[in-house]
Amino acid sequence: MSNSMGETPIFAPQHITAQTNDMRILTTLLLALHGLLLLAQETNDNAAFIRENYTKREVLIPMRDGVRLFTSIYTPKDLSKSYPILLRRTPYSCAPYGVEAFSDRIQNMNLVRSGYIFVFQDVRGKYMSEGDFVDVRPHNPNKKTKNDVDEASDTYDTVDWLLRHATGNNGKVGVYGISYPGFYATMAILADHPAIKAVSPQAPVTDWFIGDDFHHNGAFMLMDAFGFYSGFGKPRPEPTTQGSPGFSDWKTPDNYDFYLRTGALRNFNEKYLRGGIPFWNDLMAHPDMDAWWQARNPRPHLKNVRPAVMTVGGLFDAEDCFGAWAVYKAIENQNPQTTGNRIVMGPWSHGGWARGTGEQLGNVRFGQATSTFYEKEIELPFFEYYLKGAGRLALPEAYIFETGSNRWITHASWPPNQLEPTPFFFQTNGGLGATPDAQPGSDRYTSDPAKPVPYTEDVHLRRTREYMTDDQRFAARRPDVLVYETPVLERALPLHGPVVADLWVTLDDRGAARPGRLLDADFVVKLIDVFPDTLSGTENGVPTGGYQMLVRGEIFRGRYRNSFEKPEGFQPGKPTRVRFELPDVAHRFLPGHRLMIQVQSSWFPLADRNPQQFINIYDATDADFIPVEITLHRSAEHPSGMVLPVLRE
C-alpha cells in the first residue's frame, strides 16, 4: 500500500476486527507451512542439481612453510569449457567431509547453475587443516622467510596450487565469505595474487575493538563473546571433523538473569571458562586498543588494491555492521584512483542475504524479496563479469536498500555527495529541534549497574537478530532512559550516511566511589522511527500503532572519548563532551512518523556492565559496581544532540 507520495510504509494501515485477525493468524500459519514445504523442495532440488552436475575431491594443499590445509573442490562435470574458481576460506568447517558427501547449497544457486569451480578450505589450525590457529591473524607485509606466514600468504599459496591442479579452471579466481570468512576474503585482497580478479568480503570481521562482534567503541559485547568463545575458542590439538560445543549449563531460560547473576567479567572465567579459552584470556589482558589490537586491524593495509571488490553487509547486522562500511571506506580512501570498489547494503541481519528471501526481519516487513534480488541481480553479475567476462556490468558504486520507503537506491559514492550533516538538538520537555535551548537546561537519570537497561523486552536465552529492528517502547518507559522526539513529520526525512552522537554530560557518584577515584560511564544512543498511532493491527503480536522501530543503536565506553589507546576517567561534577560515530544508516522517515532519540547508559546483557569507576573493568569485582547520576546538558554552551546525515533531494 502506498501513501500519497508514492512511498511504501513499513507497516501498511489496517482495519481489523477480531474475526479477521483470527483469519490473518490462520493465513499466516498456512503461508509459513507452505513456505517450509517450498524451502524443503528447493533444498532437495539444489542438492540433486549439485550431485548431478559436479564432482567433488578433497586435498591437502601445502603452504610455503610445509603446513597442509584441507580443501574441498567441487568441479563441473562438463569439461568441454573452462571455469573460474570461487574460493571460500573458513574457520567454521568446509563440511560435509568425504568425496561422496555433497553440500545441498554450496553457494548462491544462480552461480552454481552458471558453472564455477567452488573451493572450500579449512583455515590453518581449524578442523581438518594442519597448523596452529590464530584469531584474526595479523597481516605481515614484510615477509622475509618461508616461515613468515599469514592469511594473505595462505591465500596466495592456495590460489597458486589451484591454478596448477584444479581441472578445467580458466585462470581467474574470485574470493568471498561471510563474517569470519569475510575477514579471510579481505585477506585475499592483500594476497595480491594476479589471478585474483574479484573479491567480495561480506559482513567482514574487521575491527574487534571498535565495531565488530566483541567490542563496540571499547565496550565489551558480553553475550556474543561468551556464547561464541566458550565453544569456538577451545584448543584443537589435532585435525578433526568435529567442532567443540559451547557453554550450555545456563540453568535459566533468561539471559538477563544469567548474566546479571554471574556478575563481574572476571567471574565468567573463574566460574565457567576456568582459564581454558586462550583468546578469552587475550581479551581480558588487552582492555584498551593497544598494539596487540592494532595489529589485528586490516584496514591500514588496504592500499594498492588490484582486484575488483564488492563489500556486502546488512543494515541490521547485529555482529558485523561496522565491518562492511569500514572495509569499503578504507579501500575508497586509500585507493583514490580505483573504479572497482563497490558496496552493497540491504535490510538484512548477519548473512541474511545468503539465506531466506529477505522480506522481513522481526516485526518489520520490506515489501520484496531482497535476498533473492541480491543473489540474482547483484552478486551473480559481479562475478560473471570479472571472472567470465560475461555481460555488461551495470552495478553502481553504492547499491543501498533504503528502509522506510523500502526500495533499492543507487549512489555514485558513499556517503553520497548530496549528504548534509544536520544537527538535531535535545530540547526542553523531550523535544528535538534545529537549535539548542536558549536557556541552560538539563535532564538527569541514575545509571544503576544492579538494574541495567535490557537490550530487548523479551525473555530469551540466545541473543536475537531481531533486536536490531525491535520496538523500543519498553525502554522509553524506564526512568533511566531519556527520550527526545520531533513533532509529527510533515515531509519525508531521508538519512543516508554516518550518524554522530554529540553529548555533554556530568557524572556524580554522590560519594559512592572509592576516595580519589575518577568515574566512568557508557552511553547508548538509539535512533528510532516512531510509527503513527493511527495504525491498527499487529505484527507478530506486537501492536503496530506507535511502534518505535530501532533504526540504529550503538554503545560507547565513555573513558575512550578522547583516545581508544589512552582512556581517561571523568571528573565528578565537570561537564564533559562525549562525541562518537554510529554505523551508517539508509532510512527514510515518512510523513506522519516521528524521529526519536533515546539515551541510556547500559544495554544489558548485549554489552557488559560498566562499574562506573575508572578502573580496569576486566579485573573489577562485584563490589566495584556503583550507581552514578548522569546529567545530560542541553544549552547553547553545552548543546547535546545528534548530527544526522540528511539527504538533499
Same domain, 339 and 473: no
CATH number, domain with residue 71:
3.40.50.1820
Share of the chain above pLDDT 90, in %: 88
In angstroms, the CA 329 to CA 524 distance is 24
Same domain, 377 and 440: no
Same domain, 462 and 541: yes
Q: Report which secondary-structure segment, H or E, holds 50.
A: helix 18-53
- Please name which of 131, 106, 126, 104 lies closest in space to residue 116, comparing C-alpha atoms: 106
Q: Is residue 133 part of a domain?
A: yes
Average pLDDT over residues 180-190: 98
Same domain, 581 and 630: yes
Same domain, 397 and 523: no
> Which grid coordinates belong to 339?
573504479
User: Residue 284's pLDDT is what?
Assistant: 97
User: Residue 588's pLDDT is what?
Assistant: 98
Q: Is residue 164 part of a domain?
A: yes
Strand-pair partners of 589: 493
Same domain, 316 and 177: yes
Contact 409, 400 (CB under 8 A): yes
pLDDT digits (tens, 9 = 90+) for 252-261: 999 999 999 9
pLDDT digits (tens, 9 = 90+) for 55-82: 999 999 999 999 999 999 999 999 999 9
Q: Is residue 320 part of a domain?
A: yes
Same domain, 569 and 462: yes
pLDDT at 312 over 80: yes
CATH number, domain with residue 608:
2.60.120.260
Same domain, 403 and 434: no
Contacts 24+ apart (CB under 8 A), 248-255: 250/461, 252/461, 253/459, 253/460, 253/461, 254/459, 254/460, 254/461, 255/223, 255/460, 255/461, 255/462, 255/463, 255/605
pLDDT at 37 over 90: no
Q: Is residue 282 part of a domain?
A: no
pLDDT digits (tens, 9 = 90+) for 531-585: 999 998 889 889 999 999 999 999 999 999 999 999 999 999 999 999 999 999 9
- Of 411, 438, 459, the last residue of a domain is 411
| pLDDT confidence band for 6 (50 / 70 / 90) | very low
Same domain, 403 and 424: no
- Of 365, 380, 411, the last residue of a domain is 411
What are the Cα distances from residue 506, in Å, to 73, 114, 580, 584?
Answer: 59, 60, 17, 28
Average of per-residue pLDDT values in the chain: 93
Same domain, 344 and 385: yes
In total, how many domains does the chain have? Answer: 2
- Measured torsion, CA atoms of residues 563, 224, 587, 364, in degrees rounded to the nearest 10: -160
User: Residue 173's pLDDT is what?
Assistant: 98
Q: Is residue 276 part of a domain?
A: no
Share of the chain above pLDDT 70, in %: 93
Supply the range of the domain harboring residue 39: 27-207+296-411
Same domain, 389 and 534: no
| pLDDT confidence band for 13 (50 / 70 / 90) | very low
Q: Is residue 234 part of a domain?
A: no
- Of 353, 376, 411, the last residue of a domain is 411
Same domain, 468 and 402: no
Q: Is residue 438 part of a domain?
A: yes
Strand-pair partners of 122: 90
Q: Is residue 543 part of a domain?
A: yes
